Amino acid sequence: MLTPLGWGTAAVSAPLYAAGWWLGYPEPAMLAVAGLAAVGAAALWTLPQPKLDVRREIAPLKVERGEPAVGVLHVTNKGRGTRGLSAHDAAGSTSVAVDVPRLRAGGTRSVTYRLPTERRGEIPVGPLRLVRADPLRLARRVREYGAPQILLVRPRTVRLPLLPSGRAHHLEGPTSDRSPAGTATFHALREYVIGDEMRHIHWKSSARTGTLMVRQLVDASLPTTTVVLEARPESWPEPDDFELAVDAAASVAAGAAAANFPVRILTGNGPLADTRGGPGDMEVVLDRLTSVTTREGPQSTVDAVRRVRAGGSLVVVTSGAAELGRIAAVRSRFDRVVVLRVRPPEPASAPPGVHLIDFGDLDGLAESWRRLGSVR
């Protein structure tokens, strides 16, 4: 197709030829013919289609924001030549220049280039766009090669240890008063109530106290770490602050998942991840946080918390102090509550029973988190 310069040359040449012929001056007509001939030759120059086989690799397929990632193109020329070509590989909304060497017929070369990883998200890489242009830049033709692939640029994380939940531990597993009633693990003795099974009566304690006492059994379960990320746009006027908030949420969730504890992540728009505790949970947690964005939600962070099962630790990642009072209202539903404030505009005091951490970068978060872990 013609470039703007090519269209301009053709548009000027036609009236120039007509004027020269009408006025009887051969020079303008000759210039017009030369211009039209150049445009025609440029179109013919870009007409041949390169016959290439392009195979792409991305290493690694998943990286933290800011870490290096490369694309590797294996290019095989199945035609005559690749002279006069420039190449660009699409990487999300950007375009990466690729130095594709000249290849003789049947030749194969591998080309390595850096991929942009400054922005978190699912980055589609490809297809490779080959541009053939004539020397005068009057015409250019773009053709695409190779199937696109996805590069996952995940949040940055720092290693954060699992916070103690404050639960009492049993040999068969951690339990608390909020553990669901079950048949597996002894938790405590209590007075008999109508409907209790007779096989759960503890006869020695009943004889000593003179009151029927039964064993309270619960289902032993690992405490869940619930991470709530504030994602309403008005809470994050600075995009960099929201990125840091996502990094903080990812660090907390990844730390719990690495210890094989259940993790629940949600925003006001709903749940993002809900894992049970396993070796692959950290990958799930980081992948789910890769594409989270700010958008209006049907409920606030505290409203979202009210809908989840009680127990374990609650970590809320926010920016201001407006939610602190409302978070205190759900404090009794969890064993431990921590509020992480990203670069807060003003200092604030934590309500009773709520731990508050203000931080401006991940290193500051890690230091404050370790100090919090030593507080029982």
In this predicted model, what pLDDT tens digit does every residue of 321-373 receive, in sequence order?
777 778 888 888 898 999 999 998 888 888 888 899 999 999 999 999 998 87
| Encoded amino acid at 308, one letter | V
Whether 160 is in a domain gets the answer no
Residue 57 and residue 123 share a domain:
yes
- 280 shares its domain with 257: yes
pLDDT tens track for 207-260: 888 888 887 765 456 788 999 999 989 889 999 999 999 999 999 999 999 998
Domain boundary among 188, 218, 248: 218
Question: Are 273 and 369 contained in the same domain?
Answer: yes
The model's confidence at residue 376, banded by pLDDT at 50, 70 and 90, is low
**Structural domain boundaries, residue 265:** 225-373
Query: Predicted confidence band at 165 (pLDDT cuts at 50, 70, 90)?
Result: low
Is 202 in the same domain as 231?
A: no
pLDDT, tens digit, 9 for 90 and up, residues 245-268:
999 999 999 999 999 899 999 988
Task: Please report whether residue 204 resides in a domain.
Answer: yes
Per-residue pLDDT for 32 more than 90?
Answer: no
In a domain? residue 62: yes
Is 206 in the same domain as 234? no
Encoded tokens for 188: 């405590």
Q: What is the pLDDT of residues 260-295, one digit of tens each?
A: 899 999 988 888 999 988 888 999 999 999 999 998
Number of domains in the chain: 4
- Name the residue with higher pLDDT: 81 or 197: 197
Token digits for 11? 């548009």
The verdict on residue 175 lying in a domain is no
Q: How far apart are CA 165 and CA 163, in angstroms?
A: 6
In this prediction, residue 229 carries a pLDDT of: 93
- Does residue 44 register a pLDDT over 50? yes
For residue 168, tell me if it sits in a domain. no
How confident is the model at residue 182, as a pLDDT? 44
The reply to whether 141 falls in a domain is yes
> CATH no. for residue 292?
3.40.50.410
Q: Which pLDDT does position 187 carry in this prediction?
A: 55
Distance separating alpha carbons of residues 299 and 53, to the nearest angstrom: 51
Residues 273, 366 within the same domain: yes
Q: Own/partner pairs for 275-279, CB < 8 Å, 24+ apart?
A: 277/222
Q: Are 13 and 2 in contact (CB under 8 A)?
A: no
Sign of the Cα pseudo-torsion (308, 367, 355, 301, in order): negative
Distances (CA, A) of 231 to 134, 227, 271, 274, 361: 50, 12, 12, 18, 18
Residues 72 and 37 in one domain: no
Same domain, 236 and 261: yes
The residue behind tokens 């922005």 is 119
Q: Is residue 341 part of a domain?
A: yes
Tell me, yes or no, whether 263 and 361 share the same domain. Answer: yes
The span from the CA of 363 to the CA of 375, in Å, is 19
Structure tokens belonging to residue 127: 């297809």
- DSSP reduced 3-state for 61: coil
Q: What is the mean pLDDT of residues 85-98?
A: 84
- pLDDT at residue 185, rounded to an integer: 52
> Is residue 72 over pLDDT 80?
yes
**Which CATH number covers residue 119?**
2.60.40.10
Task: Tell me if 171 is assigned to some domain.
Answer: no
The DSSP annotation for 332-351 comes to GGSSEEEEEEES-SS--PPP
Assess whether 12 and 123 both reside in one domain: no
238 and 300 fall within a common domain = yes
Q: Are 112 and 70 in contact (CB under 8 A)?
A: yes
357 and 289 both lie in a single domain? yes
